[in-house]
Chain A
Amino acid sequence: MAESDTIFALATPPGRSALAVFRISGAQAGYVLEMLSGRAVPEARRVVLRAISDPDSGERIDTGLATFFKGPASFTGEDLLELTVHGGRGVINAVSSILRRFEKVRTAEPGEFTRRAYSAGKFDLAQAEAIADLIDSETEFQRRQALRLLDNGLGRRAEVWRQSLLQIAVELESVLDFSDEGDVGEAQVEGLVARAEELRLEIVRARDAGARSLALRNGFTVVIAGPPNVGKSTLFNLLAGSELAIVTEYAGTTRDLLSTDLDLDGVPVKLVDTAGVRVALDPVEAIGVERARSAIGSADLVVRLQSGDVDPFDEAAPGDLVVWSKADRFAPPKGVIAISSVDFDSISKLIKSIRERALNTVGDGSEGLLTRQRHLDALAISADALGRLIEASRGNRLELAAEECRDVNVALGSISGSFGAEELLGAIFARFCIGK
């Protein structure tokens, strides 16, 4: 999370609206516009019409209005881009996910635009009070976030690690600072190494578990599959809240994979529409079917769509969510999940079951305590430094080991809070009778 990152956020309220405005602030703002529009950055403060495409695939997303502000003459004092697109959920999600793919571009933290504006001296003193209140409430928000993490169990474990590290530090620092004291004596290198090794393994395990859960959370993929013309794209559009997919009554309309990011009440889900699986009639469709099969293979959840008017082609695999569509026109068998594009209740129920399945798979956080990339990074740094600490201790270079210990303390500190010199000295004085 660097201050120098370019940040973006939706400046209009989330949900359906005619238009949506993205604000992108930072050094990359101009580059982002160049990449999205394929054209040079326009003159500052002039509204221009631009076609917006995915820079990787070249796929057209939307047509929108762009206004570029050259820093420092902008709200944040940095280069700033305001991008107005159509308000459909699909467009918003597509633009967000493209922006996130840029290096050094990330979603803004709450209040971050305001904070940047403040740091750039964009407010006078009269405004400062209001801003401080905002930042205060934001800090409160972060505090609550942190508390939630504590409830999650990560805090408790981090506290155990912290105590364990403190004991390692006591071993090292007591020898470095008090070797002339009768009570301290020589360093117990073996015990120290064993303790550090144990802590390192625990942190490595937590990091691995965290990495799995983070990967899952970032991409719980739901694939809509089924034979042609069963209503996959209709369902996809209903869930995505826009007409990303082209829907016709002709079987085989969807040839390629189509995907969008959804937020199902806090659970992030990647939804993928696929070509209907059947014996393909032409080579292009054949490629589509191939891709569909591969998407199904790697999905976390397959929504297997069937309807009374279409024969199933592939068998549903165990774990698939079997859903009968067009329930208003073709009566489904009893006891199955049935939906209809005209019955919004049935769609809500389906969303609920997808969300539940996602939660079940991702877990409630009891295994994957680590929800944030920065926590994972901190653990990786800690594990590496502990490895070097062990090596330095074995070579009896305790002043170097102590240095590594300090790095671990700083890294773990971003999760559990680090200990300072006073706490360390207190722990030494509690354990050894110091004072000659």
Chain B
Amino acid sequence: MKHDSQAERFDVIVIGGGHAGCEAAAASARMGARTALVTKSISDIGVMSCNPAIGGLGKGQIVREIDALDGLMARMADRAGIQFRILNRSRGPAARGPRAQIDRRLYQRAMQTELATYPNLSTVVGMVDGLILQEGQVSGVRLHDGRAVLAGAVVLTAGTFLRGVIHIGRKRIAAGRVGEAPAELLGRNLESFGLAVGRLKTGTPARLHQRTIDWDGLERQPGDSDPEPFSFLSDGIATPQVDCRITRTTAATHDIIRDAFVDSPLRTGAIVGHGPRYCPSIEDKVSRFGDRDGHQIFLEPEGFDTELVYPNGVSTSLSESAQERFLRTIPGLERVEIARYGYAIEYDYFDPRGLFPTLESKNLCRLFLAGQVNGTTGYEEAAGQGVLAGINAALRSSGATPAVLERSASFIGVMIDDLTSRGVTEPYRMFTSRSEFRLSLRADNADFRLTPVGTSLGCVSGGRTAAFRMRELETSEVARKLSGLSATPQMTRSFGIDVKEDGVRRTAMELLARVDVCFEDLIRMWPELSNSSASARMQVETDAKYAVYLDRQNGAVSDYRARLAAKLSPDLDYRSIPGLSNEIRSRLLKAKPLTLGHAYEVEGMTPAAMTLLAAYAKRGEAGA
């Protein structure tokens, strides 16, 4: 191409500055790759386009995992959070998820400031119209103004911008977010390379003017009195904390929604994409669950210096007038003014089964995809993919082998494995029940699970590595002490712990595994134990309480690994394997599974075909 001579050249290009894009660019830069973040406007970097919150059940674990890999989201959220809560605090640690309300502007500002000075990272302002290919491999991007930017690998994080269409009542507007043009040309360009495209839908509620809400009499939802930060590196939360409020829809609300439903794009058939079952619009809720005793709405402030409020629970694509009317039937909202109407948005996604678990496209070598383009929803899900895509783009660009995050070691791994092996039928969100290893994939031990992985991959800075080593050392020291201390039943009973009088000495660790014993009890028995950090105590106690279960689960984990980890070559020519049915053969050629585990997930796979492949995987290993 003639403009190649003047083209700027990087190791990695990241298209898009949303949550996936920011993490991908930062991860790639941490890996030492010269990275360009291409965005159509610097002010769009780090925008939270839907609800003003980060974390939650399952999602909070992902935020901690991103942090463990030295990503940005947790630290930015700690700078911008205005209400922190640990969900399921009353339950065991494996059920807990950190969540925070976020001040949008603070978050954006924090992210933009962070990236502006990030080593190895440059920002390129421009709209990407298409990919540049060299010998069938992606080698850069073409911008709308004719410039070319070249790199050894490209990460695409286009969010909902690929042929996005917004629906409000019977109105249809082509847009990526409200007021922002979609990426039409890029969408068409990508489709021309044969990536399988599907259509999904999501929605967002209206934004309300805070001063037009009657707050008195609405139920308060305060944050935790002692806010717990997301990041393992944050010392505490400096931002002032605010309350959310709770209200409910009424019978009058439901009447208006039912009447207005004839104009809903869901009813008229204007929307073809599938929406998520777990985040239905209020019209869906009313038609599926009827009146109940009203549907709960959380009124979440969008920040300090904004006067916008996000009414969580009433996402809608009804017409403007219907939105206004139904909102005003809700207690507290009788005289509410709407700052921006809610809408449904339909957008293209690429079938994630077209990706390797490294997030590299099977069709287009050196192209990585992350975020909503892969059919997920949620800032955290997008950011989690972004980290891995950024790491792998950097590895790819430097000629190294891309990495895979294991399903048994992280929710990010669970998500990517689900996506690339099963695909999606609705926007994919993380739930802890998706993991078969919930007891070990906890928010409290994300650093133990992933920081060493990140350090060996090269995406963790020296400061974090040192901080983690310290925590690891303290924790193992406490664990060692507890295994060394023991007490007779008599002594133990004298401290009010009801053990059997069998004459058997029990170690402090064994005692701590009991439901009725906490670390403070041990300190009463052995005062020298008070000489240990709170974080180490808590970690050891949590591990001890789950030890029995984790032992069992570790058995399952290693069985699982052994069974499914046998490698298959991505270049394996399934046409040359006799005995496979044509149908399975063509699916395998398309899926290019990297391991037996991935092959097993291919639709229509039979035990017979698995047996054939098993022999093949073995043979591949022996030959290698």
Binding site for B on A (CB under 8 A): 115, 118-119, 121, 123, 125-126, 128-129, 131-133, 135-136, 138-139, 173, 175-183, 395-400, 402-403, 406, 421, 424-426, 429, 433-436
Contact = CB atoms under 8 A, between A and B. Distances in A.
Contacts of B312: 436
A128 B612 contact: yes
Given A119-B614, A421-B433, 11 more contacts: A119-B615, A123-B615, A177-B57, A182-B296, A421-B434, A425-B278, A425-B431, A435-B280, A435-B313, A435-B315, A436-B298
Given A183-B296, A397-B92, A435-B313, A119 B618 contact: yes
B433 A176 contact: yes
Contact of A436 (B292, B313, B611): B313
B615 A121 contact: yes
A421 B424 CA distance: 13
Interface in B566-624: 576-580, 606-609, 611-612, 614-615, 618-619, 622
Interface residues of B, number: 54
Contacts of A400: 92, 439, 549
A434 B87 contact: no
Interface in B63-88: 87-88
Contacts, number: 132
B285 A136 contact: no
B436 A406 contact: yes
- Interface residues of A: mostly helix, strand, loop or mixed? helix
Contact of B606 (A139, A179, A398, A406): A139
Given A132-B580, A433-B285, A436-B312, A177 B432 contact: yes
Looking at A131, A177, A178, A406, the one whose CB has the most chain B CB atoms below 10 A away is A177
A121 B95 contact: no
Contacts of A121: 615, 618-619, 622
A426 B277 contact: yes
A178 B313 CA distance: 14
B233 interface: no
Given A176-B433, A178-B57, A429 B277 contact: yes
Interface in B255-312: 276-280, 285, 288-289, 292, 295-298, 312
Contact of B549 (A132, A173, A403): A403
B606 A182 contact: no
Given A119-B618, A182-B313, A399 B578 contact: no
A232 B580 CA distance: 57
B325 interface: no
Contact of A132 (B91, B315, B608): B608
Given A177-B432, A399-B92, A399-B95, A126 B618 contact: no
A400 B552 CA distance: 12
Contacts of B580: 132
B151 interface: no
Contacts of B433: 173, 176-177, 402, 421, 424-425
A136 B615 contact: no
A135 B577 contact: no
A339 B163 CA distance: 88
Contacts of B618: 119, 121
Contacts of A177: 57-58, 431-433
Contacts of B434: 421, 425
B506 interface: no
B439 A399 contact: yes
Interface string B377-413: 0000000000000000000000000000000000000
A180 B289 contact: no
A180 B87 contact: yes
B515 interface: yes
A398 B95 contact: yes
A299 B306 CA distance: 88
Contacts of B92: 397-400
B333 to A, nearest CB: 16
A135 B87 contact: no
A173 B289 CA distance: 20
B56 interface: yes
